[in-house]
Protein backbone atom coordinates (compact mmCIF):
# COMPACT_ATOMS: atom_id res chain seq x y z
CA UNK A 1 0.00 0.00 0.00
CA UNK A 2 1.27 3.46 -0.87
CA UNK A 3 -0.34 5.96 1.45
CA UNK A 4 -0.67 9.64 0.62
CA UNK A 5 2.03 10.55 3.15
CA UNK A 6 4.46 8.22 1.32
CA UNK A 7 3.76 9.80 -2.08
CA UNK A 8 3.73 13.45 -1.05
CA UNK A 9 -0.01 13.48 -1.63
CA UNK A 10 0.29 12.73 -5.35
CA UNK A 11 -1.50 9.36 -5.25
CA UNK A 12 -2.58 6.47 -3.08
CA UNK A 13 -2.37 2.80 -4.03
CA UNK A 14 -4.43 0.21 -2.21
CA UNK A 15 -4.71 -3.55 -2.76
CA UNK A 16 -8.17 -5.03 -2.38
CA UNK A 17 -8.69 -8.75 -1.86
CA UNK A 18 -12.31 -9.87 -2.13
CA UNK A 19 -13.68 -13.28 -1.26
CA UNK A 20 -16.18 -15.16 -3.41
CA UNK A 21 -19.53 -13.39 -3.88
CA UNK A 22 -18.25 -10.26 -2.04
CA UNK A 23 -20.46 -7.20 -2.34
CA UNK A 24 -17.70 -4.60 -2.79
CA UNK A 25 -18.91 -1.03 -3.20
CA UNK A 26 -22.32 0.14 -4.36
CA UNK A 27 -22.63 2.94 -6.93
CA UNK A 28 -20.93 6.11 -5.71
CA UNK A 29 -18.73 9.01 -6.79
CA UNK A 30 -15.95 11.20 -5.44
CA UNK A 31 -15.92 14.94 -5.99
CA UNK A 32 -12.17 15.49 -5.78
CA UNK A 33 -10.41 12.22 -6.62
CA UNK A 34 -10.19 9.88 -9.57
CA UNK A 35 -9.89 6.13 -9.16
CA UNK A 36 -8.33 3.48 -11.33
CA UNK A 37 -8.81 -0.26 -10.95
CA UNK A 38 -6.31 -2.87 -12.13
CA UNK A 39 -7.31 -6.53 -11.78
CA UNK A 40 -4.48 -8.73 -10.49
CA UNK A 41 -6.37 -12.05 -10.36
CA UNK A 42 -9.87 -13.41 -10.67
CA UNK A 43 -12.82 -11.65 -12.25
CA UNK A 44 -14.53 -8.59 -10.83
CA UNK A 45 -17.67 -6.79 -11.95
CA UNK A 46 -17.08 -3.07 -12.42
CA UNK A 47 -19.67 -0.39 -13.11
CA UNK A 48 -18.48 2.67 -15.00
CA UNK A 49 -21.65 4.64 -14.28
CA UNK A 50 -23.35 3.46 -17.45
CA UNK A 51 -23.03 -0.31 -17.50
CA UNK A 52 -21.49 -3.27 -15.70
CA UNK A 53 -18.48 -4.98 -17.25
CA UNK A 54 -16.45 -7.98 -16.15
CA UNK A 55 -12.75 -7.34 -15.65
CA UNK A 56 -10.21 -10.13 -15.54
CA UNK A 57 -6.50 -10.37 -14.85
CA UNK A 58 -4.69 -7.41 -16.46
CA UNK A 59 -7.82 -5.35 -17.13
CA UNK A 60 -7.94 -1.66 -16.22
CA UNK A 61 -10.79 0.79 -15.55
CA UNK A 62 -10.35 4.53 -15.03
CA UNK A 63 -13.01 6.63 -13.27
CA UNK A 64 -12.58 10.43 -13.35
CA UNK A 65 -13.53 12.64 -10.40
CA UNK A 66 -17.31 12.84 -10.28
CA UNK A 67 -17.73 9.60 -12.24
CA UNK A 68 -20.22 7.07 -10.91
CA UNK A 69 -18.74 3.64 -10.27
CA UNK A 70 -19.12 0.44 -8.25
CA UNK A 71 -17.50 -2.98 -7.99
CA UNK A 72 -18.33 -6.44 -6.71
CA UNK A 73 -17.24 -10.06 -6.98
CA UNK A 74 -20.06 -12.13 -8.48
CA UNK A 75 -17.85 -15.20 -8.95
CA UNK A 76 -17.21 -18.22 -6.76
CA UNK A 77 -13.49 -17.39 -6.69
CA UNK A 78 -11.48 -14.73 -4.85
CA UNK A 79 -10.49 -11.50 -6.60
CA UNK A 80 -7.46 -9.28 -6.10
CA UNK A 81 -7.16 -5.78 -7.55
CA UNK A 82 -5.21 -2.59 -7.18
CA UNK A 83 -7.01 0.67 -6.58
CA UNK A 84 -5.13 3.85 -7.48
CA UNK A 85 -6.59 7.17 -6.39
CA UNK A 86 -5.31 10.62 -7.27
CA UNK A 87 -4.56 12.94 -5.74
CA UNK A 88 -3.48 11.01 -2.67
CA UNK A 89 -6.54 11.34 -0.47
CA UNK A 90 -6.62 9.68 2.96
CA UNK A 91 -8.65 6.73 1.62
CA UNK A 92 -6.91 4.05 3.67
CA UNK A 93 -8.97 4.93 6.74
CA UNK A 94 -12.14 4.63 4.68
CA UNK A 95 -11.35 1.06 3.60
CA UNK A 96 -10.21 0.08 7.07
CA UNK A 97 -13.26 1.44 8.93
CA UNK A 98 -16.24 1.39 6.55
CA UNK A 99 -17.46 -2.00 7.85
CA UNK A 100 -17.39 -0.65 11.40
CA UNK A 101 -19.35 2.47 10.41
CA UNK A 102 -21.86 0.33 8.49
CA UNK A 103 -22.92 -1.08 11.87
CA UNK A 104 -23.62 2.41 13.25
CA UNK A 105 -26.52 4.77 12.54
CA UNK A 106 -27.30 5.89 9.00
CA UNK A 107 -26.30 9.43 9.96
CA UNK A 108 -22.90 8.34 11.28
CA UNK A 109 -22.25 6.24 8.18
CA UNK A 110 -23.21 9.12 5.87
CA UNK A 111 -20.97 11.57 7.77
CA UNK A 112 -18.09 9.09 7.62
CA UNK A 113 -18.54 8.64 3.87
CA UNK A 114 -18.80 12.38 3.15
CA UNK A 115 -15.72 12.99 5.31
CA UNK A 116 -13.85 10.68 2.93
CA UNK A 117 -15.26 12.19 -0.31
CA UNK A 118 -17.59 9.23 -0.87
CA UNK A 119 -21.11 10.05 -2.07
CA UNK A 120 -23.30 6.98 -2.48
CA UNK A 121 -26.29 7.09 -4.80
CA UNK A 122 -28.16 4.56 -2.66
CA UNK A 123 -27.67 6.68 0.51
CA UNK A 124 -26.80 6.95 3.32
Give pLDDT, residue 90. 66
CATH architecture of the domain 4-91 equals Sandwich (2.60)
pLDDT in tens, the chain (124 residues): 776 677 877 888 889 999 999 988 888 899 989 999 999 999 999 987 788 899 999 999 899 999 989 999 999 999 999 999 888 766 777 878 888 988 899 899 889 888 888 888 875 5
24 closest CA partner among 88, 98, 92:
98
Local structure of 122: helix, strand or coil: coil
Contacts with 22 (C-beta within 8 Å, 6 or more apart), sequence order = 72, 73, 79
Whether 41 contacts 79, CB under 8 Å? yes
Give pLDDT, residue 93. 79
Give pLDDT, residue 123. 59
Give pLDDT, residue 80. 96
Give pLDDT, residue 18. 92
Q: Rg (Cα) of the chain, in Å, rounded?
A: 14
Report domain extents, the chain.
4-91
Give pLDDT, residue 51. 87
42 closest CA partner among 15, 10, 70, 6:
15
pTM: 0.79
Amino acid sequence: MAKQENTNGEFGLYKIDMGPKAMGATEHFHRTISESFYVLSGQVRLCNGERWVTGGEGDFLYVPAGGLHAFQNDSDDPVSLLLLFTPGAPREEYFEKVAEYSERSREELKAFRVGHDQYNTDSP
